[in-house]
Structure 1
Amino acid sequence: MTTYLVTGAGSGLGAVTARELAATGASVVLAVRDPARVTAPPGDTEVRRLDLADLGSVREFAAGWAGDLDVLINNAGVMAVPYAKTADGFETHMAINHFGPFLLTNLLLPHLTGRVVTVSSGLARLGKVPLGDLNWERRRYSALGAYNQSKLANLLFTQELQRRLTDSGRAVRAVAAHPGVARTGLDRHFGGGLSLLMKVVYPLIAQKKAEYGALPILFAATGDVPGNAYVGPGGRNGGRPRLERRRDHRDARELWEVSARLTRA
Structure 2
Amino acid sequence: MVNKWDETCIPDQSGKTIIITGSSSGLGLETATALASKGAEVILAVRNEQKGIEAAKQVNRRHSKANVKVMKLNLGDLNDINNFAVDFKKQYARLDILINNAGVMMPPYEKTKDGFELQFGTNHLGHFALTGLLLPKLLNTPNSRVVTLSSLAALKGHIFFDNLDGSKGYRGFPFYRQSKLANLLFAKELDLRLRAAKMTTISIACHPGIAATNITSRGSGRDMKFLTTLMNALFQTAAMGALPTLYAAIEPSLIGGEYIGPDGRGAKKGYPAIDTSNHKMFDKGVSEKLWQISETLTGVHYTFVG
Common topology (TM > 0.5): yes
Q: Are 1:105 and 2:131 counterparts?
A: yes
Letter in 2 for 1:137: S
Identity %: 42
Match of 2:158 among 128, 133, 145: 128
Q: Is the 8 A contact 1:234 1:241 kept in 2?
A: yes
Give 1:1-265 correspondences, 5 Å limit: 1-38=15-52, 39=54, 40=56, 41-42=59-60, 43-66=66-89, 67-112=93-138, 113=141, 114-138=144-168, 140-189=169-218, 202=231, 205-207=234-236, 209-223=237-251, 224-235=253-264, 239-245=270-276, 246-247=278-279, 248-250=282-284, 251-265=286-300
Letter in 2 for 1:165: L
Q: Secondary structure of the residue that 1:123 maps to in structure 2?
A: helix
Q: Is the 8 A contact 1:91 1:135 kept in 2?
A: yes
**1-structure distance, mates of 2:250, 2:115:** 35
Q: Is the 8 A contact 1:59 1:104 kept in 2?
A: yes
Q: Secondary structure of the residue that 1:107 maps to in structure 2?
A: helix
Shift of 1:159: 1.4
Further displaced range: 234-243 or 166-175: 234-243
**1-structure distance, mates of 2:152, 2:260:** 10
Q: Is the 8 A contact 1:173 1:227 kept in 2?
A: yes
Q: Is the 8 A contact 2:244 2:272 kept in 1?
A: yes
- Structure 1 unaligned residues grouped into runs of 5+: 191-197
Shift of 1:204: 6.3
**1-structure distance, mates of 2:47, 2:26:** 14
Q: Is the 8 A contact 1:181 1:205 kept in 2?
A: no
Letter in 1 for 2:241: G
**1-structure distance, mates of 2:76, 2:32:** 21
TM-score (norm: length of structure 2): 0.80
Q: Secondary structure of the residue that 1:136 maps to in structure 2?
A: coil
The one-character-per-residue Cα deviations of 1:93-118 (angstroms, maximum 9, x if unpaired) are 01110000000000000001311000
Q: Which residue of 1 aligns with 2:5?
A: none
Shift of 1:226: 2.2
Shift of 1:239: 4.5
Q: How many correspondences in the alignment?
A: 257
Q: Is the 8 A contact 1:215 1:238 kept in 2?
A: no
- Structure 2 unaligned residues grouped into runs of 5+: 1-14, 61-65, 220-226, 301-306
Shift of 1:203: 5.8
Further displaced range: 162-171 or 175-184: 162-171
Shift of 1:188: 2.5
Letter in 2 for 1:123: A
Q: Which residue of 1 aligns with 2:222?
A: none
Q: Secondary structure of the residue that 2:248 maps to in structure 1?
A: helix
Q: Which residue of 2 aligns with 1:194?
A: none
Q: Which runs of 4+ in 1 moved over 4 A?
A: 201-205, 236-239
